[in-house]
A and B are shown apart, each in its own frame.
Chain A
Amino acid sequence: MNNDKAYLLGLIIGGGIINPTKSNLIIVLPYKRWGKVISNPIRAGKIASDILLKVKPVFENEYDISVTFNPEPEWSIVCTGNLEKLTDDLHKFGIVNGGELRKNAGIENLIPYLCDENLKRQFIAGLADSIGSVVNSHRRFNDDYQIISFEFSGDNFRLVFEICQLLNEIKCFADQILWNHPNQHSGNDRYYGHYYGTWKKGFKIRVLLDQYTKKGSFVFNAKLEAAKENIEKEKTEEHEANSCLDRRINVNGIKPVHIDEDNFWIPKNLRGYHFVHHKHLCAMFGCPYVPKNQLKPILDNLECYITPFTVITKARVDQINKILESEEVLKNRTYTKYEVKVEKLIEIYKRDPNTLIWGNSKDKSGYPVNKVLQALAAVLSMESRTSRGKRTSGNFIRSIEDAISNDTIKHINIYMPDKLTPIKILGTNFGALVGPENPGVYKKLIEKDSEFGYKVRAIREEDFE
């Protein structure tokens, strides 16, 4: 191992695809619009020069491989020649040497060779140059917190975990990990990705950019310059990220137990479990940086953070009906059209958006008024085709008030089930389901089988008794 190999391995694991005949290696740089020749020719020129002046000599020196590049359809570094030395190294470091490495590689055996902080930093630099996105839309809430996002597709949970550990070791603490798991990508809709859409949106390790530029490294000028441009947008002083151990865990509201939690696609050690927070997933991998003292009280009261139903599902009426047919407890329900004074709901919402309605205040059960109104606004919006996807544009309360004043709200009906299961809000073509909170009942569904392993079984009729 040496500093140059560490960098190349980062680059290769980030984007490398090895041809099965091992005659060439292509490193795909998923820059998308950020690196497009047409939209940003100056940056594209810099990327080309980075490949030729920085990557090429290192590949030639270390592996006697010649390097060229393709800017279209996606930027890629094309390595040709005798790959034997390289594949020997990949074998030695325990990296599977075939196919798309980011999807199937592990770095468990490589890590001991990255024996000091500098080599780890070189490896991460290779990853940053390939899959570290510095698109200026990566922010935390506003421009003041710029982010570099290490992005991975596929189901290689272990690699994401290992890379996050390495980032920690060079003091580039992850601001957030977005795991490619339904609890992360579908925090409201139990059915998203099962009947429509997809929750498989990839992994992201998000690191504060000023932290990364201080402690991490880029080899590509194009990346570093873009990172510096983004940092210039920050209005306040440099941000110092805290180690995960010193960070607060906030779980806002309840999350549905997703219908795909036991999907075969999810690795066995995670399959069937419910996760309330990204650090909960980290804990399942045994990450030593998880603030257990903050996570445990949440897990001890998990029934307050989950629902076996959806929180809010927005879909076409036929999809809503299909969902209602798909689960026994939903199928058995009798629905009654409910005459609702929407103005009254808005009044309740304005007093306290988290108020539970149509339940039992003693059990802390009922439907969150904010979700009911959001769903109503979404259906109105989808019906009038003004929504961006399924999101309501603008202030959702105002859109409901507009619908009340122009009387279009009369086309939307709310249906109440005979037990505390989701309500239906239906228009002509579109509808929504809003699930109730009911911690007393949900507690019965939780099974704990390890320190952080919590499974939530499907709800049954008898659970309501």
Chain B
Amino acid sequence: MSNEQTFYNEILDYLILQLNSNFQAMGKKYLITGATGELKKGIDKLIKDKSIFPSLFLTVFADAVAPLDLDIFIVIMNAKGLFEILICEIKDLKAVGLKELSQLIGYCLISDSKLGLLINVDGQISPRLTTILHNNPDITNITRIVGVHQGKAKEELDLHEHNLGVMKWNSITKRIEYSNAGKISSIPKLCELISNYLE
């Protein structure tokens, strides 16, 4: 087991706790659950374990999504069965850079997840990535045009959003710390985004 893997569960628990708490404070009733590992199988298991309601939207997604080995994914579902997936890429490096962010972007594009967090355990964000994110905030707020290859007319094309953030996990205090880099700059901002998508 790599060093970063030892933190998966505590980070997962922490994020679920904070999301639950913030949604409760916002007056939102969402079902929140998550897992570590492969996304497709993971969702199937969550459904089988009755950790989440097998809404049509979710089962269709689980059937269609490509197998992806993720560090952490969290499913947030509303009462109608609409859901969002947050993908977390965990690193245990001195500093994370563009390479690690690119990996997360790739996962989000492939799984069509709107939300992604790059979390470095007790480490930093490289100065180069910090500069890029500050000078070019759009990098963590990507809008993808979907349907071009299917020959859809321009007005029928879908726009899919992907929002990313870069944070740190403090293994001493067992808390997420912010770098304020990226579209998702804090957990409350993440909750606002999710809530906007699910309403």
Query: Footprint of B on A, CB under 8 Å?
Result: 1-5, 53-54, 57-58, 60-62, 113, 115-116, 118-119, 217-221, 224-225
Contact = CB atoms under 8 A, between A and B. Distances in A.
Q: Give the residue among B170, B178, B191 with the most A Cβ atoms within 10 A.
A: B178
A217 B175 contact: yes
A57 B188 contact: no
A158 to B, nearest CB: 24
Contacts of B186: 4, 57-58, 61-62
B24 interface: yes
Nearest to B175: A219
Interface residues of B, number: 22
Interface in B151-189: 170, 172-173, 175, 177-180, 185-189
A113 B25 contact: yes
A2 B170 CA distance: 20
B191 A116 contact: no
Contacts of B21: 2-3, 116, 118-119
Nearest to B124: A53
B78 to A, nearest CB: 19
A115 B187 CA distance: 17
Contacts of B170: 221
B188 A5 contact: yes
A115 B20 CA distance: 11
Given A2-B191, A58-B186, A53 B177 contact: yes
A137 B74 CA distance: 44
Contacts, number: 61
A31 to B, nearest CB: 18
Nearest to B174: A217
Interface string B17-30: 11011101110000
14 contacts: A2-B25, A2-B188, A4-B188, A5-B188, A60-B180, A61-B178, A61-B185, A61-B186, A116-B20, A116-B21, A116-B24, A118-B20, A220-B173, A221-B173
Contacts of A57: 177-180, 185-186
Q: Give the residue among A3, A54, A116, A220 with the most B Cβ atoms within 10 A.
A: A3
Nearest to A2: B188
A257 B180 CA distance: 57
Contacts of A62: 186, 188
Contact of B189 (A61, A220, A221): A61
Nearest to B176: A3
- Listed from nearest, the 8 A-B pairs whose CB atoms lie closest are A2-B188, A57-B178, A118-B21, A1-B25, A61-B186, A57-B180, A2-B22, A3-B18
A61 B24 contact: no
Contacts of B189: 61
Contact of A217 (B173, B178, B187): B173
Contacts of A2: 21-22, 25-26, 187-188, 191
A61 B173 contact: no
Contacts of A225: 172
Given A3-B18, A218-B173, A221-B172, A119 B25 contact: yes
A218 B173 CA distance: 7
Interface of B: 17-18, 20-22, 24-26, 170, 172-173, 175, 177-180, 185-189, 191
Given A53-B177, A62-B188, 17 more contacts: A3-B21, A3-B188, A5-B188, A54-B177, A58-B186, A61-B180, A61-B185, A116-B20, A116-B24, A118-B18, A119-B21, A119-B25, A217-B175, A219-B175, A221-B170, A221-B172, A224-B173
Contacts of B20: 116, 118
B93 to A, nearest CB: 17
Contacts of B177: 53-54, 57
B95 to A, nearest CB: 14
A116 B24 CA distance: 8
Nearest to A57: B178
Nearest to A118: B21
A217 B191 CA distance: 22
A164 B111 CA distance: 47
Contact of A115 (B17, B18, B24, B191): B24
Contact of B173 (A1, A113, A118, A219): A219
Contacts of A119: 21, 25
B30 to A, nearest CB: 14
A224 B17 CA distance: 21
A464 to B, nearest CB: 63
Contacts of A53: 177
B18 A58 contact: no
A61 B175 CA distance: 17
A221 B122 CA distance: 12
Contact of A224 (B26, B172, B178, B185): B172
B5 to A, nearest CB: 23
Contacts of A221: 170, 172-173
B178 A3 contact: no
Contacts of B179: 57
Contacts of B25: 1-2, 113, 115-116, 119
Contacts of A61: 178, 180, 185-186, 188-189
Contacts of A219: 173, 175
Contacts of B18: 3, 118
A118 B180 contact: no
B192 to A, nearest CB: 9
